[in-house]
Amino acid sequence: MSKHDHNHHCRTRTFWSRRDFLFQSGGGIAGIALADLLNRQGLLAAAQSDTCEAPIPGNPFAPQPSHFEPRAKAVISLFMAGGVSHVDSFDYKPALQDYAGQPLAESVVVRQGHPGPLMPSPFEFQRHGESGMYVSEIFPHMAKKVDEVAFIKSLYGRSNDHVQATYEMQTGQIRMGFPSVGSWVTYGLGSESSSLPAYVVMADPRGTPKGGPPIWSAGFMPAMYQGTLFRSAGDPIVDLQPPVGMTEVQQRGRLDALASLNQMDIAQNPGNSELAALISSYELAYRMQGCAPEAIDISAESEATKKLYGLDDPLTEPFGRQCLMARRLVERGVRFVQLFSGGQGADWDAHSNLDENHRVRAAEMDLPVAGLLTDLKSRGMLDSTLVTWHGEFGRMPISQRGVGRDHNPGAMTGWMAGAGVQGGQEIGASDDFGYKAVEQRISPHDLHATMLHLLGMDHTQLTYRYNGRDMRLTDVHGTLIPQIVA
Amino acid sequence: MAFVIVRNALVIAGVHVACFALPVGAGAQTVTFTDHIRPIMERSCWNCHGEAAQLSNLDLRTRESAMEGGTRGPAIVPGQAEDSRFYRAVAGLDDPLMPMGGNPLTETEIASVRAWINDGAHWDAAGVTTAADALSALESSELPPGARDYWAFRLPEQGPVPTSETYEHPVDRFLDSARRDAGISEAPRADRLTLLRRAYLDLTGLPPTLAQTDEFLADTERGAWERLIDRLLDSPQYGVRWGRHWLDVARYADSTGFEMDYRRANAWRYRDYVINAFNQDKPYNQFLREQIAGDELDHTTDETRIATGFLRAGPRVNYREKDTPDRRYDYLDDVLATLGRGVLGMTVHCARCHDHKFDPILQKDYYSLQASIFGYVEIDWPLLDRVELAEYRAANAKVDSLQQPLEEKVAAIEGPYRERLQLEMIRERFPENVLRAVMKPEEERTAGDRLLVTQVLSVNPPRDALRAALTSDDRDMVEALNAQIAALEAERPPEPAMAEIVTDGDYRFAPDGPGDNVIGCPECRILPEEPGTFLHEEGWPAYETPPNYLLISGDPQSPGSQMSPGFLTVATNGDPPTVIPRPDGRTSGRRLALAEWITSRDNPLTARVIVNRIWHHHLGRGIVRTLDNLGTMGDAPTHPELLDWLAVEFMDRGWSIKEMHRLLMTSEAYRMTASYDDDASSAVDPENQLLWRYRPQRLEAEVLRDSIMASSEALDLTLSGPPVFPFIPERILASQKNGVWDNQPDGPAVWRRSAYVYRRRALSYPFFETFDLPDQNQTAGARNVSSVATQALTLLNNESVLRQAELFAERLAALAPGDLARQVDLAYRIALTRSPRPEEAQVARALVTDQSLEALTHILFNLNEFRYMR
């Protein structure tokens, strides 16, 4: 992974130098004792650096050792909000054609009442790649990637409400208040970056998915592990830059004064080790002001790269930009990047017109996602990056209002690529209609266990002590998917 | 069972496809679970994959758990024996052969297993799984021997207070004794200004004003400290601060959470109740009784009913509840988890699916407790007296009855138009296959057609289209009728003030709520066999609680025996009543009995938990560090005898929380300095467990915000009332469609104390979230303390912080015009309750000279010292 070619883009900003430090603290006994104290906590070493990448001692996100040799260092999670239909994307069901118009079963109950009859996919399916995977016509670019992708066709969840199902995919629980998988990964591994948040979320520009920020919350963990919402235009983070009217020199002056006064305070309070961490947080903040805008500034990318992500087409531009930003963030050491395709009002929730809805949604993300895989591979990053793709549930094989499909947590298809995962394979299966996952049923816990494994963590060992119990992302469940971890 | 649950087929149904022939049966004889499979399971499977053990995480007691399977994957795939590990393992098709180490199954048995799975693996004729042995084991489960010997389950007793040569205060004598045993020496007393600031931040969440500082410094008589504490406890700002601690326990928020995140428009009355209760020093036992059973007391008032808002303060979906009846069990669990962790310091909710793994809490205890609250329903309560209420209802009913015939007339006129428009809309909006099905005479429709026809049921023409379609005569008639209806509507009495309370009722007859009547799923609903009503009225025969059952593995579809109300066996002494019948018969008296058990002196947990919480807030860490877990997986108490002594003292002093403040704050332990180090003590006790110096505490989000506004003097100290909505940038709000944020510009109207800021579950006020607001969906223990870049960015760049810095600077300029030295001195005295040291004043003056006074006030808000209570 090329991690050093962007340093010169990043504004050089450091909080202290060692010399300044001694100078500002007035030299003398107090100053030297203070320098010694901070040095023991490793703080002064930070002062030597002038890039976005030098570690900041005391940084709570300093990289943590994994349990065993990891396959991947970072995750890019692509979440199709609203519930992408498996039987219209990657889970081909010819039986829907054969039995079109017939009832599925007498006991079917669907979320919005009144089950319709079986409805064939409005889309053509063809085999693709050496592996001969079936892909729907609405994913022509992903179709060229099937040999690099492992399809999981037997995912299932427990809720057919969007928000609870999304919580389950994110946290393993259908209730509010639990840490998301990105939080767990960040908690377990820290971050390779000392100038960017460890867990970055980018919502669809049309809005956050249903459920909002609790979807990437840290639940009962400290808030520092929650996802940081990045916007794809302007300042990526709220309050990143000083308000209009404050110059950089003024800010610098204020920070210098703050540093001096805080140093005097540390000298007065020898017992409080948190104070150094607080000072560190200012160093990180200051660096983030320069480094975060640089990380998402795609102007330096080549035209070919921009085209690869579809930035030349207004339909693919929004998601393409986010995919490209995701690559840049991972390149700079961000641990977990999560993108949502679909926000409130324009998501994959095709109750009333599946054909139109899925055609447009797919066209928005198909080329960018394929471009992301291509780009990661050509930069040698794919082997160390896990890319996941899924929604919060699949959709029903029967029709709703004649042309739509209702929610179906009984079966969905997701995929994984990168991280050395064997592509061109399908894992598990749903029944002949795609109503239920039946072969090698895979729960969100299993998915999470497998993700953690690829990152070098044993899901039974990654625990957070809360309320007297060693909590796990996978609770008391979770089975590794053997075909993925093989 | 008294009622029938129609199961949501989506969740459980195997693949039963009418048009898809599955191989069925192993021959002429039908294989049933009861006759053929259970004997095999009991003999050969359940020893290792049942109640006693779940090897490989596999539990074969229920169909669901068998389908879910264990670490090797699902054991049973209904309809597909060849793909079912259970079958493959007993048939010897896969290694290892099962049962492991036992006699293999006979050929006949293997064939039965195969046939039974292929037939769908139905567990029981009733569809309800009860592995009888497992159930009876659960229901007769008993406490392990010695369970009551654990310290937290023994009643607290006051042992002798250790003697000390140095200290008189009992708290210090306990602490001193532990320090002496460890050979540790303690810090000296902090200076008066440090103590003043500590007491103010601790008791009111605000720094002292200049006048308050002068007042304290002027009081040099003996007893000045005690008088200060009394003054602070008399301040209404005390309740705002300490009420907020309780609101953390109560997982309080102003919105419901989940997708809709509705505003709980009257939730704030409970928030005000809590703040008032602290200000009144309502005895803690009474405080709990009101919150648990405020509708059942001998003397109920609006205040006690509002208190029951505690039970319903957690997250609720409140959308399509009738179609998702199982959610009720999650809500009940939310209540039990809150009572358990918040009040009893026990993780009671861990026993929802099985006996608690670590503490002696039985699963049947959980369902006994559930029975104690099972009558619980959430209602809006008009805050009217009985006469007013009757008048209000009568006036409402009169309007309804006059409007109804008019509305019927409107409907009769509009009916034919509506039908025509519906048909047009169907033609427009639905594909050909649906239209064909709709047009076909009913007897010619195929099964698929019949399903297609149902797809158009929810089509409703918009009002405008309907109005446009009417002939002018009909339109005139409809308009005249509508005018009469509107005129009647004006006579409807104004809606009175309402409270969001809990009382007893029958949830099965709850009226439709949002989403229930739009796209209903009648199949999902619980249909009681007997008629009934949601609420119980005065004068009716005594209320009866609907039945609840022990749920096997917590699954509402696997009920065991009906439960009676009861408590935690291990924490129950004597034979307390589990029901206290109410003379009016309007409620069951179960929650009242629960409240009496919780607040009884015979309950070993309640007093310990609250004094530990109070200790935590004063001294930075609980005697038991895990505030909401006194069980074996919680931390051990650092000073167990002290904890017990305090618990008894608390009860002896009438469960008065203010008395505990006075007791703890007058100790030397509370008055030690935090600015102290001692190599020997650090070496022996690096974490300061024995309290040899004061533990500084990071200001909580609310206190930080309030302190900033107090420094600028912008803070509005008004108490109570509906919540306020401080400014959130539109770009954050716009991304969230649902939920309320009545955004206000940054200004005096929202510069209220942070306890009055709207708590929205799906979108926390960003400032609070950044500074470690706890999750608002679960009862909170100690708050997390983090030091992250976003906090620095907020304090450096956030416009509302900078606005306060500007106001603070204006204030200083007005107090000491043109006098830089004095401005700097005042800035320090206001923000940090002390004058600057010379080297600090030098830096400060230089900053003001280089930039502005505002630069200095801004930096003060960012100082480590400002962000701590120390």
pLDDT tens per residue across span A139-172 = 999 999 999 999 999 999 999 889 999 999 999 9
The residue in chain B having the minimum alpha-carbon distance to the alpha carbon of residue A342 is B735
Residues A179 and A462: their CA atoms lie apart, in Å, by 13
Say if A431 falls within a structural domain.
yes
Point out the residue among B15, B73, B793 whose CB comes nearest to the CB of A436.
B15
Per-residue confidence (pLDDT) for residue B419, from 0 to 100: 86
Alpha-carbon distance B755 to nearest alpha carbon in chain A (angstroms): 20
Would you call B846 and A257 a contact, using CB atoms and an 8 Å cutoff? yes
Q: Indicate whether A184 pLDDT > 60.
A: yes
Number of domains in chain A: 1
Residues of chain B with C-beta less than 8 angstroms from the C-beta of A270? 675-677
Categorize the per-residue pLDDT at A107 as very low, low, confident or very high, splitting at 50, 70 and 90.
Answer: low
Q: Which of A313, A418, A310, A326 is nearest to A368 (CA)?
A: A310
Categorize the per-residue pLDDT at B619 as very low, low, confident or very high, splitting at 50, 70 and 90.
Answer: very high
Alpha-carbon distance A256 to nearest alpha carbon in chain B (angstroms): 9
Instruction: Taking each helix axis as running N to C, give the angle between helix B363-373 and helix B132-139, from 0 to 180 degrees, rounded to the nearest 10.
Output: 70
Q: Indicate whether B817 pLDDT > 80.
A: yes
Say if A309 falls within a structural domain.
yes
Say if A277 falls within a structural domain.
no
Per-residue confidence (pLDDT) for residue A106, from 0 to 100: 60
Mean model confidence pLDDT for chain A: 86
Would you call B77 and A439 a contact, using CB atoms and an 8 Å cutoff? yes
Per-residue confidence (pLDDT) for residue B131, from 0 to 100: 56
Residues B703 and B868: their CA atoms lie apart, in Å, by 10
Q: Indicate whether B380 pLDDT > 90.
A: yes
Say if A281 falls within a structural domain.
no
Residues of chain A with C-beta less than 8 angstroms from the C-beta of B736? 207-208, 212, 344
Say if A314 falls within a structural domain.
yes
Mean model confidence pLDDT for chain B: 89
Q: Residues A195-234: pLDDT tens digits? A: 899 999 999 988 888 888 889 989 888 878 899 988 877 7
Per-residue confidence (pLDDT) for residue B106, from 0 to 100: 84
Per-residue confidence (pLDDT) for residue B625, from 0 to 100: 93
End-to-end CA distance of chain A: 24
What value of ipTM does the predicted structure carry?
0.80
The residue in chain B having the minimum alpha-carbon distance to the alpha carbon of residue A270 is B677
Point out the residue among A112, A260, A282 whose CB comes nearest to the CB of B843.
A260
Would you call A265 and B863 a contact, using CB atoms and an 8 Å cutoff? yes
Q: Residues A257-267: pLDDT tens digits? A: 999 999 899 88
DSSP labels, A459-478: TTT-EEEETTEEEETTTT--
Residues B564 and B561: their CA atoms lie apart, in Å, by 10
Domain with A215, as residue range(s), is: 74-236+291-485
Distances (CA, A) of B452 to A368, A436, B430, B458, B604: 37, 22, 10, 12, 62
Per-residue confidence (pLDDT) for residue B523, from 0 to 100: 58
Point out the residue among A105, A162, A467 whose CB comes nearest to the CB of B13.
A105
Q: Which domains does chain B have, with CATH numbers?
A: 15-139 (no CATH), 170-240+603-681 (1.10.3130), 283-383+497-602 (no CATH), 386-490 (no CATH), 799-869 (1.10.3130.20)
Q: Which of A254, A393, A464 to mutate to test the interface with B (most CBs of B within 10 A)?
A: A254
From A199-203, A370-374, B727-731, the region with the lowest mean pLDDT: B727-731
Opening angle at CA A117, ends A114 and A123, nearest 5: 120
Residue type, A275: L
Which CATH number covers residue A386? 3.40.720.10
Q: Which residue has the higher pLDDT, B697 or A60?
A: B697
Point out the residue among A109, A261, A467 whose CB comes nearest to the CB of B10.
A109
Say if A44 falls within a structural domain.
no
Categorize the per-residue pLDDT at B526 as very low, low, confident or very high, splitting at 50, 70 and 90.
Answer: low
Would you call B259 and A210 a contact, using CB atoms and an 8 Å cutoff? yes
The residue in chain B having the minimum alpha-carbon distance to the alpha carbon of residue A178 is B775
Quick one: what percent of chain B has pLDDT higher than 70? 93
Q: Indicate whether A38 pLDDT > 70.
A: no
Would you call A109 and B452 a contact, using CB atoms and an 8 Å cutoff? no
Per-residue confidence (pLDDT) for residue B111, from 0 to 100: 86
Categorize the per-residue pLDDT at B59 as very low, low, confident or very high, splitting at 50, 70 and 90.
Answer: confident
Instruction: Taking each helix axis as running N to C, give the angle between helix A28-40 and helix A248-268, from 0 to 180 degrees, rounded to the nearest 10.
Output: 90
DSSP labels, B121-155: ----TTS----HHHHHHHHT--PPTTGGGSGGGSP
Tokens 């004006």 locate to: B490
Categorize the per-residue pLDDT at A23 as very low, low, confident or very high, splitting at 50, 70 and 90.
Answer: very low
Q: Which of A473, A417, A411, A471 is nearest to A442 (CA)?
A: A411
Q: Residues B60-88: pLDDT tens digits? A: 888 888 888 887 888 998 888 888 889 98
Q: Indicate whether A417 pLDDT > 60.
A: yes
Peptide bond into B96 cis (omega under 30): yes
CB pairs under 8 A between A and B: 328
Q: Residues B771-783: pLDDT tens digits? A: 999 888 888 888 8
From A102-111, B738-747, B793-802, the region with the lowest mean pLDDT: A102-111
Say if A328 falls within a structural domain.
yes
Categorize the per-residue pLDDT at A13 as very low, low, confident or very high, splitting at 50, 70 and 90.
Answer: very low
Would you call A26 and B781 a contact, using CB atoms and an 8 Å cutoff? no
Say if A261 falls within a structural domain.
no
Q: Indicate whether B728 pLDDT > 50.
A: yes
Per-residue confidence (pLDDT) for residue B231, from 0 to 100: 98
